[in-house]
Amino acid sequence: MNTSGKTILGLDISTSITGATVLQHGKIIESLFWDTRNKRLFPTFYEKAKFIKNKLIEMEDRYPIDKIYIEQSLQSFRSGFSSAKTLSTLSRFNGVVSWMCYELFDMQPEMLAATSARKQAGVAIKRGENAKEKVLQFILDKYPDLEVLYTKHGNPKPGTYDMCDSIIIALAGENIVRKGGNP
């Protein structure tokens, strides 16, 4: 299948920071993140969802999106990571935003697991390696003009990893479309 004219939206959804990338022919048209960590601005789950919906409406107005790919929310516990409550909230938020995409863009988004998306995008991560750092390096190598901001301690600023994850999801989606297959 030819991807000419196909515009892919890749999303890395979270209740704290959501990454979004619009990709066409392997070229980033726009990549950004939406920060909803401020409890004063976003005191509830629903305020966060409303903010993301408004951002998606803005994207819909700017781009003729042909396919939407979303990073699948975590499905299981990992020692030292999220609690059951956190996983449940993330899963709910992912579902709400997925539904918004379906309604706004009139298409069903496809869910991709992070590990399979990385493989589809061409990111090789060995056991024990920091996946976030490897993804960031892969993105910087592939898109050297992409602006990444760092803290005074030399760490990527909050939102950078989310934005990079959304690029990976979009790249994986574009690869899936090119092959004419399913995830």
pLDDT of 92-116, one tens digit each? 999 999 999 999 999 999 999 999 9
Q: Walk across the sheet containing 67-71 and list its strands.
A: 27-35, 17-24, 8-12, 67-71, 110-112
To the question of domain 8-179 being in CATH 3.30.420.10, the answer is: yes
Q: Which amino acid is at 55?
A: K
pLDDT of 53-95, one tens digit each? 999 999 999 999 999 999 997 654 454 556 777 778 889 999 9
Alpha helix (H) residue ranges in 122-156: 131-142
pLDDT of 110-140, one tens digit each? 999 999 999 999 999 999 899 999 999 999 9
